[in-house]
Amino acid sequence: MFGLLELGLPGLSPSWHSLGGPALLAWCYVLLEVLLRLTVGTSLISASIAMPGTAVYGAPSSATPYDLINPSWVWVSGAAALLLGLNLLLIHRGRRARESAAV
């Protein structure tokens, strides 16, 4: 059971050592970013409460206010993919090191 949690939550594996806490925090931030963008439209909670009009700032009228302040989905999904990939690499290296030490 812990093996599945280890794979799905970067930072839980002992292979992360002292970087486990920051990795888990970054993972929670990315998940919260995705959740808020899917439900509210932006990850900035204060912007979802009161967003000024964009015409005042000279932005094109076709742009929504959220388009101007949200990072691209490429960056959000790239951060999640990077964390998961690094997690898999560290878990694999840690297991290989434990197996070689046991022999």
Residue 65 has pLDDT above 70, yes or no: no
Cβ–Cβ < 8 Å for 24, 14: no
Q: Per-residue pLDDT averaged across 46-62, rounded?
A: 60
Domain limits, the chain: 21-44+52-102
Phi and psi angles of residue 44, each rounded to the nearest 5 degrees, phi first: -90, 105
More confident residue, 89 or 5: 89
How many of the other CB atoms lie within 10 Å of CB of 79? 17
The answer to whether the predicted template modeling score (pTM) of the entire model surpasses 0.85 is no
Of the listed ranges 21-25, 50-54, 76-80, 86-90, the least confidently predicted one is 50-54
More confident residue, 2 or 95: 95
Angle formed by the axes of helices 73-102 and 20-39, nearest 10°? 150
Cβ–Cβ < 8 Å for 34, 84: no
Round to whole Å and give the CA distance between 27 and 39.
18
Round to whole Å and give the CA distance between 90 and 20.
11
Predicted local confidence at residue 26, as pLDDT: 92
Residue 47 has pLDDT above 80, yes or no: no
